[in-house]
Structure 1
Amino acid sequence: MWGDEMLTKKNREIIEQVELVSIDSLVPQDHLLRAVEESIDFNFIYDEVKDLYSENTGRPSIDPVVLIKLLMLQALYGIRSMRQTIREVEVNVAYRWFLGYGLQEKIPHFSTFGKNYERRFKESDLFEKIFERVLMEAIECGFVKTDAVFIDATHIKASANKNKYIEKVAKQRTQKYKEELLKEINAEREANGKKPFEEEDDDDDNNKGENSSKKVRVSTTDPESGMFQKGEKERCFAYTASVACDRNNFVLGVKIAPGNVHDSQVFSDLFQEVNDKFSKIEAVVVDAGYKTPGICREIIEAGALPVMPYKRPMTKDGYFKKREYVYDEYYDCYICPNNQILEYSTTNRAGYREYRSNPQICCKCPMRLQCTKSKNYTKIITRHIWEHYIEIAEDIRHTQWGKELYKMRGQTIERVFADAKEKHGMRYTNLRGLRKVGHYLTLLFACMNLKKLALWKKRRGTFPPTVPALHSFFLKIFFAFNKKPLLGYAS
Structure 2
Amino acid sequence: MMGDRATVQDALFYEFSLERHVPAKHLLRVIDRFVDLSGIRQHLAPHDSSIGRPSIDPDLLIRMLIVGYCFGIRSERRLCEEVHLNLAYRWFCRLGLEGDVPDHSTFSKSRHGRFRDADLLRELFETVVRRCMAEGLVGGEGFAVDASLIVADAQRQRGVKSGEDLDPTARRAVAEYLATLDDAAFGAATPVEPKFVSPVDPAARWTASWGGPAVFAYCTNDLVDVENAIIVDVEPSTAVRQAEVGAAKTMIARVHDGLGLWPERLIADTGYGSAEMLDWLVHERGIEPHIPVFDKSRRKDGTFSRADFAYDHGSDSYTCPDGKQLKLYRRRFAAPRDGINQDNTLRYRASQADCRACALKAQCCPNAPARKVTRSLFEGARDMARAIAETDAYRTSRRQRKKVEMLFAHLKRILKLDRLRLRGPNGARDEFHLAATAQNVRKMAKLYAARQPIPVS
Fold shared, TM-score > 0.5 on shorter chain: yes
Kindly state the Cα deviation for residue 383 of structure 1 after the two structures are TM-superposed.
0.7
Task: Give the aligned CA root-mean-square deviation in angstroms.
Answer: 3.1
**Conservation of the 8 A alpha-carbon contact between 2:76 and 2:104:** yes
* TM-score normalised per structure 2: 0.82
Which residue does 1:214 correspond to in 2? 192
**Farther off after superposition, 76-85 or 225-234:** 225-234
**Other structure's SS at 2:346 match:** strand
Supply the AA of the counterpart residue of 1:138: C
Q: Give the Cα separation in 1 of the matches to 2:355 and 2:371.
A: 8
Which residue does 1:66 correspond to in 2? 60
2:383 to 391, 408, 423: 391
Kindly state the Cα deviation for residue 428 of structure 1 after the two structures are TM-superposed.
1.4
1:343 to 306, 327, 336: 327
Pair 344,314 (structure 1): closer, same or farther in 2 beyond 3 Å: closer
1:252 and 2:245 equivalent? Answer: no
Which residue does 2:267 correspond to in 1? 285
**Farther off after superposition, 147-156 or 105-114:** 105-114
Which residue does 1:272 correspond to in 2? 253
Q: Give the Cα separation in 1 of the matches to 2:137 and 2:119.
A: 25
Kindly state the Cα deviation for residue 71 of structure 1 after the two structures are TM-superposed.
1.5
Alignment deviations for residues 182-206 of structure 1 (CA, whole Å, 9 cap, x no partner) = xxxxxxxxxxxxxxxxxxxxxxxxx
**Conservation of the 8 A alpha-carbon contact between 1:37 and 1:98:** yes
Kindly state the Cα deviation for residue 49 of structure 1 after the two structures are TM-superposed.
1.4
**Other structure's SS at 2:318 match:** strand
Alignment of structure 1 residues 430-445 onto 2, 5 Å: 430-445=421-436
Which residue does 1:477 correspond to in 2? none
1:232 to 211, 218, 229: 211
Alignment deviations for residues 136-166 of structure 1 (CA, whole Å, 9 cap, x no partner) = 1121122211111111111111111223333
Structure 2 unaligned segments of length 5 or more: list them: 165-179, 330-338
2:22 to 27, 49, 68: 27
**Other structure's SS at 1:215 match:** coil
* TM-score normalised per structure 1: 0.77
Pair 117,312 (structure 1): closer, same or farther in 2 beyond 3 Å: same
Kindly state the Cα deviation for residue 341 of structure 1 after the two structures are TM-superposed.
3.1
**Other structure's SS at 1:451 match:** helix
**Conservation of the 8 A alpha-carbon contact between 1:334 and 1:343:** yes
Kindly state the Cα deviation for residue 310 of structure 1 after the two structures are TM-superposed.
5.7
Pair 38,342 (structure 1): closer, same or farther in 2 beyond 3 Å: same
Which residue does 2:350 correspond to in 1? 357
- Aligned residue pairs total 420
Q: Give the Cα separation in 1 of the matches to 2:82 and 2:193.
A: 44
**Other structure's SS at 1:355 match:** strand
Pair 31,211 (structure 1): closer, same or farther in 2 beyond 3 Å: closer
Pair 230,325 (structure 1): closer, same or farther in 2 beyond 3 Å: farther
**Conservation of the 8 A alpha-carbon contact between 1:135 and 1:449:** yes
**Conservation of the 8 A alpha-carbon contact between 1:288 and 1:311:** yes
Supply the AA of the counterpart residue of 2:345: Y
Which residue does 1:294 correspond to in 2? 276
Kindly state the Cα deviation for residue 360 of structure 1 after the two structures are TM-superposed.
5.0
**Conservation of the 8 A alpha-carbon contact between 1:351 and 1:384:** yes
Kindly state the Cα deviation for residue 220 of structure 1 after the two structures are TM-superposed.
1.6
1:52 to 31, 47, 58: 47
Pair 21,211 (structure 1): closer, same or farther in 2 beyond 3 Å: closer
Structure 1 unaligned segments of length 5 or more: list them: 1-6, 177-209, 463-491
1:334 to 307, 313, 318: 318
Supply the AA of the counterpart residue of 1:317: K
Which residue does 2:176 correspond to in 1? none
Pair 364,427 (structure 1): closer, same or farther in 2 beyond 3 Å: farther
Alignment deviations for residues 353-387 of structure 1 (CA, whole Å, 9 cap, x no partner) = 0122344554665655554465x534332111221
Which residue does 2:33 correspond to in 1? 38
Supply the AA of the counterpart residue of 1:274: V
**Conservation of the 8 A alpha-carbon contact between 1:307 and 1:402:** yes
1:303 and 2:303 equivalent? Answer: no
Q: Give the Cα separation in 2 of the matches to 1:368 and 1:211.
A: 42
Pair 388,443 (structure 1): closer, same or farther in 2 beyond 3 Å: same
Supply the AA of the counterpart residue of 2:203: E
Pair 26,10 (structure 1): closer, same or farther in 2 beyond 3 Å: farther
Q: Give the Cα separation in 1 of the matches to 2:326 and 2:383.
A: 20
Q: Give the Cα separation in 2 of the matches to 1:348 and 1:244.
A: 33
Q: Give the Cα separation in 2 of the matches to 1:67 and 1:388.
A: 51
Supply the AA of the counterpart residue of 2:307: R
**Conservation of the 8 A alpha-carbon contact between 2:293 and 2:382:** no
Q: Give the Cα separation in 1 of the matches to 2:27 and 2:4.
A: 31
Kindly state the Cα deviation for residue 347 of structure 1 after the two structures are TM-superposed.
1.8
Supply the AA of the counterpart residue of 1:287: D
Pair 86,9 (structure 1): closer, same or farther in 2 beyond 3 Å: farther
Q: Give the Cα separation in 2 of the matches to 1:128 and 1:142.
A: 21
Q: Give the Cα separation in 2 of the matches to 1:15 and 1:401.
A: 69
Pair 44,316 (structure 1): closer, same or farther in 2 beyond 3 Å: same
Alignment deviations for residues 397-421 of structure 1 (CA, whole Å, 9 cap, x no partner) = 10112211232111x2222222222
